Structures are given as C-alpha cells and as structure tokens.
Structure 1
C-alpha cells in the first residue's frame, strides 16, 4: 500500500492560510460597518438619501449680516473677520420622522451653523425652507453641506460624532464660483428676505 503524499496537504494548508489572511485583511472595521451610506451630489439639483432630500436654492457670501425682527426693537448687524456663508436650503424627510445634523465643510474645517432656525425633526412629506448661516474664517476654495440623518433620536449628537446609527449622509458640493456676493445680507426673522 502506498503512503499518501504530503505535498497536496501542504499546498492546501498554505492556500487556506493565505485565504484566511486575505479575508481577515478585508473585513470591514466597526466604523465601516456602522458608518453612513454616503450620497454625493451638487448644489445645482436635489440630493436624495433613503429618507431625506435636500436642495440648495442659493448660496451667498457676505461680510456683514443684518438681522431684523418683526415685533422686536433689538435689530442688529453682525460683522465677521472672515466671511459669512448663508445657504438657502429646502430639507425634506421622505417617509418617517428622523433626526438630522447639518454642517458645512469649508476646505478642511467643519463648521456648525450659527443662528439657524433649522429644526431637528421634520414631518414626512413637508419640505422645510431654512437659512443656514456659517461663519467661515477665510475665503474657502471648496465647500460642501453635509446632512447626516440618524436612525434614532436618543443621544443623537453623541451618535453622530462617533458615527453610530447614522443612516445616510448627504454630501452636497457647492462650487465657490456660484456664491452670490453681498456686502450686507438681510435676514428677516432668521430667514432670507425675498
């Protein structure tokens, strides 16, 4: 009786070991497994995620903002050392109530909106128009509005920061050449005046 050869066993073992190493090296990390589905778009049209849609009607830059209020006498003008970026945005939740976080990426800076009337929750099917105001330290060479939709509402800010429970992330590129420049931009009751 002939003894089985050890060569096929060694080749098979080596192939299994190489396959296991390749599989281990290509397994998603925790962040990749729980991270958002990124959807990229341009400010020239509507960008839609699984449960949300956003469109930028206009993008402005100004060195000063004039705030006017209907029933108050504390109207004021606010200047900046850098540049105000004001986005006229329409946001819509499509199917279910969902929490969302919006911020601007200007070059490599992540900037939260200041004095925004944006609400965290929208009723499905009812678009909400809002002015998002960002204080950018210097003239940017690239702009993107990031909208993160969170599947849950508990600890939403913490979850968004760590990337947990993020359903969709819309990344809307805003060409700097499309910014409408104003010396002073009027905001009436926190909204862009028509």
Structure 2
C-alpha cells in the first residue's frame, strides 16, 4: 500500500515556481494587450518578457523530459535529506531515552583464537546524550549470509555524547565451522540524563 506523500520536495517546489512564473507572465501579457499599456509599445521590454517566459517554460519542458530513473534518484535524495533533518531534530532526550540503539554505530574487528570468536572495536554515539550499557546482538553468518548463531552481549562502558569508546576483546561464542563473518548491531542501551 502506498501512502500519500506529505511536504514538498525541492524538485516539486521548483516545478511549482516555474509554473507560477509562466502563468503570471501570460496573464500580465493579456492584461497589457487588453488595456493597451504603454510598456507594450517598447519592443525591448516585450522581447525581454518573451525571453523570460520562454526560458522559464523551457525549464519546465526540460524537467518533463527527465528519465524516470533521474526523477526517482531526485526523490530518493530528497527523502534522504528529509530523514537526515528529522534525525537531527529528533536528537532530544526523549528520543535517545526511547531508542538509544538508533544513535549507536558499531565498528568491529574479529579475532579467532582456536575456535573462540572474540570481538573488539569501537562504539560511536551520534546523540547529544551519553549512552551506557550498550547491548549488542551479534550474528555469525555463513558464506550465503545465513545466520548460524546469535548471541547478545552488553558492553558496560559509557559512550560519550557525539563521541566514541573502544571495547573488547570480548569472547562471543564457539565459532561455527561454517562461519565466515560476524555482524553486531546495537539493540539497546541506557541514555544518561545529561549531555556530555
């Protein structure tokens, strides 16, 4: 099911501005001709007005000739920019407290010590509040990205606001013989009630 889009994309906004300029130009031309305004006796001003109308109309025609892939790419870019803006404005305490995992990214390296997988790396926090006790869900993946094993571990460190902290090595599990990679994602944490 497709939901109606709200708001205006930059492409849609520009399209509306061009249409408005063209319509207003045509209306002004009809009014000027009907009332025989003195400005319509000046050939230079008439030529300038015609050029402006043709130019803005040409923008609209050129925009309508874009390939569907270009239109979709522009819409995707607009959506990404809107989501980024929403993420920035939603970085208040309530948002961080409700879903601290959304603000944590994991940079991971692996060690395999005799069949025991150990992880170490860095946790980064993009919020303006410190986050501690970050729960990681780690999946061992096979060659075809099939999940072979899953374990949840807690990194009991404080990740500062807009900062990062190193962790590990932490033993994860006995490695499955078919495992070729491990992917860890933050799934929970505790937001501090202060910035910094």
Greater share of residues in helix = 2
Larger radius of gyration: 2
Greater share of residues in strand = 1
- TM-score, scaled to structure 2: 0.36
- TM-score, scaled to structure 1: 0.37
Q: Which has the higher contact order (CA 8 A, sep 6+)?
A: 1
